[in-house]
Amino acid sequence: MSETSLQDLKPIPSPGRQIYKPKGIIRFFARFKYNKIALVALIILFVIFAISIFAPYLAPYDPAKGVLTERLRPPTLERPAGGGFPHIFGTDQQGRDVLSRIMYGGRVSLTVAFTVVGICFIFGTVLGLISGYFGGWVDMILMRVVDVVSSFPGLLVALAFVMVLGPSERNLIIALTVNGWMIHARMARSQVLTLRESAMVESARAIGLSVPGIVFGHILPNIISPLITVFVLDLGHQIAAEANMSFLGFGIQPPKSSWGLMIGEGRQYIASAWWLVTFPGIMIGLTLLCLNLFGNWVREEFDPLSRKQ
Amino acid sequence: MIQNDRENLVVVRNLQKLFPVKAGFFGKARSFVHAVDDVSFSIKKGQTMGLVGESGCGKTTIGRLVLRLLEKTSGEVEFKGKNIFNLNKLEQKQFRREAQLIFQDAFSSFDLRKCVGDIVGEPLKVHGLASGSELTDRVADLLKTVGLKPELMREFPHTLSSGQKQCVGMARSIALNPEFVVADEPISALDVSVRAQVLNLLKDLQEEKDMTYLFISHDIRVVRWLATHIAVMYLGKLVEYAETEELFIQRHHPYTEALLNAVPVEDPFQRRERKILLGEVPSPVDPVPGCRFQPRCEYAVDRCRLETPPLVEKSPGHWVACFVDFHGAGDFS
């Protein structure tokens, strides 16, 4: 090996790292070369998020203000009597524009779901990692706590929490979080158990790496793919849970709206006004489908063995 | 080869490791696997101690215990005069720098999302010995030391051949310049064609860096080639311990004799009268009283069934745990 070839190697800042870090937006999109569906899913998600974020600028009508003469209009491309943007998704029982309500409702649904799953994911994963890695009585106590919390019917506990704390968006998030962290803890723990006794961990211990270094540097990156899958699936679950709570009157309070609350409110008109439940339902379904497709791509991308070279 | 003037680097005293066998739901351990039972030996600096025995006899457990990758049940392991089971945090980190492990299957010990450069450089990073371009240079040097191209540092482990993987594992193990290396069957997972290469590398590294090895293997021929001393294990106990050449000239334990007899002869037309060991290794869970080899030993006397034979020095430097005055002579080459 000549000296020149060593010189060639010098510019590498940290060997190999750069392979995981796409530099620039072009390289990021180049990663989708083998999975175009995931790219489509990501774009749809972007659009849904963008619409939700920019709802105040995009929505043609005030989502809370109804026009009683325009009640329960089916979807139409014609302008309403008073002028303005056509009610392309129809109007509800109070004459409010469904399209505008979907835009604003998405904000609430997505905020609640992401906040709940985010807190649950971090909290549950850390507990699961500790429980799985240390084992023994730490594991025993943490897992019994998980068992006890899981053994209560989730909806009942959430209702009790909201009843005590009072219905509001913040309290809804607290109630759903209390119910939702266990699956992440269980998942992380079971994944850690498969690695705890592995030669990889032994090798990391042999070179003197600290316990946090092993857990967060080697174990977590190797088990993150199934955890991300659960994260994405749980997003859907929490959007549904928020809808349930809102439907029962313990979640989002009118005049605020969420996709779940819209389905709940539209339920009694389902025979005569199909658009009230259909469009929010499509939004939930589309969001979940795209999250799943995107989650799948992330899982593949995180795993160098399944990545196509 | 005898280096009596040098001090002991590793001293193992009455080391015992029991693994509990749990029974039932809230079950307390009712019985124990006696993986390592009352084992004592010492390794002087620069020596290579070969640890041989059948699979499941506790060789690997000893290797993990002397590196404190497992906690002992009783006994002690001294490294440079200090008991490794009572080190403080700082001493522990220093110990990790000085004592390293080479895995049987290096590939399984890698973090597969890290590239070769990260894997080899990690020990240096953990101990804060190098960073940035210096780290890259050190990794390149290490790869060259084990006979690999420095360009490989950007590859991922699954793209390497099995010999290359083992070499990367060795580069990682020697990155910290350890004084003591436990090599746990480093060549058993390799093709015959690359075995010699890895063994030569081990020997060269030892000469170059004055390393001390605990070489664990079930292949007594390999151990003979590399080791200065051989310890033979059977079911968690040391049965015979001597210098390598001494052991190949005479053996005082019937099990060692049986092990040597099992080595195939190179010439297919030359037939040796072989003593084949009958029966199987009994379970290490609550082993038989007395000598553990006694159920399979054709020389066993009544005393073997009642008392456990202690390891005694039959002749200078030749320790045996056997009541029978057994002599296995004849060179195996």
DSSP-assigned letters across all residues of B178-235: -SEEEEESTTTTS-HHHHHHHHHHHHHHHHHHT-EEEEEES-HHHHHHH-SEEEEEET
Asked if the structure places residue B262 within a domain, the reply is yes
* The B237-243 sheet, strands edge to edge: B99-102, B180-184, B212-217, B48-52, B229-234, B237-243, B318-320, B312-315
Which residue in chain B has the smallest CA separation from A301?
B113
Contacts of B60 in chain A (CB under 8 A): none
Radius of gyration for the alpha carbons in chain A, expressed in angstroms and rounded: 24
Mutate which of A18, A201, A207, A220 to disrupt the B interface (most B C-beta within 10 Å)?
A207
pLDDT (tens digit per residue) in B153-212: 888 888 888 888 988 999 999 999 899 999 998 888 788 888 888 888 888 888 888 899
A113: number of Cβ within 10 Å: 27
Cβ proximity of B252 and B326 under 8 Å: yes
Q: Do A15 and B122 touch (CB under 8 A)?
A: no
For tokens 């990889």, what's the residue?
A200
Asked if the structure places residue A146 within a domain, the reply is yes
Question: When comparing pLDDT for B58 and A13, which is higher?
Answer: B58
For tokens 């390592």, what's the residue?
B36
Q: What CATH code is carried by the domain that includes residue B48?
A: 3.40.50.300
> Which runs of consecutive H residues, i.e. helices, occur in chain A?
3-9, 24-30, 36-53, 55-58, 98-134, 136-151, 154-165, 169-196, 199-206, 211-214, 220-247, 259-266, 275-302
Give pLDDT, residue A14. 47
Q: Which of residues 164-183 of B touch A (CB under 8 A)?
A: 172, 175-176
Instruction: For residue B92, give the H/E element and its range.
Output: helix B89-98
Give pLDDT, residue A22. 47
Residue-range definition of the domain harbouring residue A203 = 34-54+95-302
Q: Do B105 and A199 touch (CB under 8 A)?
A: yes
Q: Which residues of chain A have pLDDT under 70?
A: 1-28, 83, 302-309
3-state helix, strand, coil in chain B (%, to 5): 35, 25, 40
Asked if the structure places residue A71 within a domain, the reply is no
pTM of the model as a whole: 0.77
Alpha carbon B156 to its chain's center: 28
Closest CB to B113 among A207, A209, A222: A222
A16 touches chain B (CB under 8 A): yes
Q: Do B118 and A207 touch (CB under 8 A)?
A: no
Asked if the structure places residue A63 within a domain, the reply is no
Angle of the A220-247 helix axis to the A154-165 helix axis, nearest 10: 70
Contacts of B132 in chain A (CB under 8 A): 13
CB pairs under 8 A between A and B: 104
pLDDT (tens digit per residue) in B59-87: 889 999 999 998 888 999 999 888 999 88
Asked if the structure places residue B154 within a domain, the reply is yes
Cβ proximity of A251 and A159 under 8 Å: no
Minimal CA separation from A204 to chain B, in Å: 8
Minimal CA separation from A41 to chain B, in Å: 26
Q: Do A6 and B150 touch (CB under 8 A)?
A: yes
Q: Do A15 and B109 touch (CB under 8 A)?
A: no
Q: 3-class SS at A224?
A: helix
For tokens 């390999």, what's the residue?
B222
Beta bridge partners of B13: B76
Instruction: For residue B247, give the H/E element and its range.
Output: helix B244-249
Residue-range definition of the domain harbouring residue B299 = 8-329
Angle of the B116-126 helix axis to the B162-174 helix axis, nearest 10: 10
Cβ proximity of A193 and A136 under 8 Å: no
What average pLDDT does chain B have? 85
Cβ proximity of B263 and B221 under 8 Å: yes
Asked if the structure places residue B1 within a domain, the reply is no
Asked if the structure places residue A257 within a domain, the reply is yes
Residues B303-319 have a mean pLDDT of: 87
The identity of residue B78, as a single letter, is E
Contacts of A208 in chain B (CB under 8 A): 92-93, 96-97, 123, 126-127
Query: Rounded to whole angstroms, how far apart are CA atoms A60 and B43?
Result: 83
Q: What is the DSSP string of A148-189?
A: HHHHS-HHHHHHHHHHHH-SSHHHHHHHHHHHHHHHHHHHHH
Beta bridge partners of B77: B12
Nearest to B42 by CA among B67, B70, B17, B66: B66
Q: Do A200 and B108 touch (CB under 8 A)?
A: yes
Q: What is the DSSP string of B16-73?
A: EEEEEE--SSSPPP-EEEEEEEEEEEEEETT-EEEEE--TTSSHHHHHHHHTTSS--S
Which residue in chain A has the smallest CA separation from B113?
A304
For tokens 């025979």, what's the residue?
A271
Query: Rounded to whole angstroms, how far apart are CA atoms A228 and A302?
Result: 10
Query: Rounded to whole angstroms, how far apart are CA atoms A214 and A220?
Result: 9
Cβ proximity of A163 and A250 under 8 Å: yes
Contacts of A206 in chain B (CB under 8 A): 67, 69, 96, 100-101
The mean-pLDDT minimum among A174-178, B16-20, B27-31, B109-113 falls in B27-31
Q: Do B151 and A9 touch (CB under 8 A)?
A: yes
Nearest to B178 by CA among B66, B293, B327, B325: B66
B29 touches chain A (CB under 8 A): no
Asked if the structure places residue A13 within a domain, the reply is no
The identity of residue A240, as a single letter, is A
Give pLDDT, residue A51. 92
Asked if the structure places residue A79 within a domain, the reply is no
Q: Which of residues 197-236 of A touch B (CB under 8 A)?
A: 198-200, 202-209, 213, 218, 221-222
B163 touches chain A (CB under 8 A): no
The domain tally of chain B equals: 1
At residue B218's C-alpha, the angle toward residues B214 and B219, to 5°, is 100
A81: number of Cβ within 10 Å: 9
A25 touches chain B (CB under 8 A): no
Q: Do A207 and B154 touch (CB under 8 A)?
A: no
Beta bridge partners of B233: B238
Contacts of A9 in chain B (CB under 8 A): 136, 140, 150-151, 153
Asked if the structure places residue B2 within a domain, the reply is no
Q: What CATH code is carried by the domain that includes residue A178?
A: 1.10.3720.10
Asked if the structure places residue B213 within a domain, the reply is yes
Asked if the structure places residue B133 within a domain, the reply is yes
Start-to-end CA span in chain A (Å): 28
Asked if the structure places residue B3 within a domain, the reply is no
Asked if the structure places residue B217 within a domain, the reply is yes
Asked if the structure places residue A237 within a domain, the reply is yes
Which residue in chain B has the smallest CA separation from A303?
B113
pLDDT (tens digit per residue) in B250-307: 888 888 888 888 777 777 776 666 667 777 777 778 777 888 888 888 888 888 888 8
At residue A202's C-alpha, the angle toward residues A201 and A208, to 5°, is 95
Cβ proximity of B50 and B215 under 8 Å: yes
Residue B46 has pLDDT above 50, yes or no: yes
Percent of chain B with pLDDT over 90: 21
Give pLDDT, residue A24. 61
Q: Do A222 and B101 touch (CB under 8 A)?
A: no
Question: When comparing pLDDT for A250 and B215, which is higher?
Answer: B215
Length in residues, chain A: 309
Q: Which of residues 227-286 of A touch B (CB under 8 A)?
A: none
B300: number of Cβ within 10 Å: 18
The identity of residue A161, as a single letter, is F
Contacts of A305 in chain B (CB under 8 A): 112, 158
Give pLDDT, residue A75. 81
Give pLDDT, residue B2. 44
Minimal CA separation from B325 to chain A, in Å: 42
Mutate which of B26, B91, B111 to disrupt the A interface (most A C-beta within 10 Å)?
B111
pLDDT (tens digit per residue) in A121-150: 999 999 999 999 998 889 999 999 999 989
pLDDT (tens digit per residue) in A199-230: 999 999 999 898 999 999 999 988 888 888 78
Give pLDDT, residue A225. 80
The domain tally of chain A equals: 1
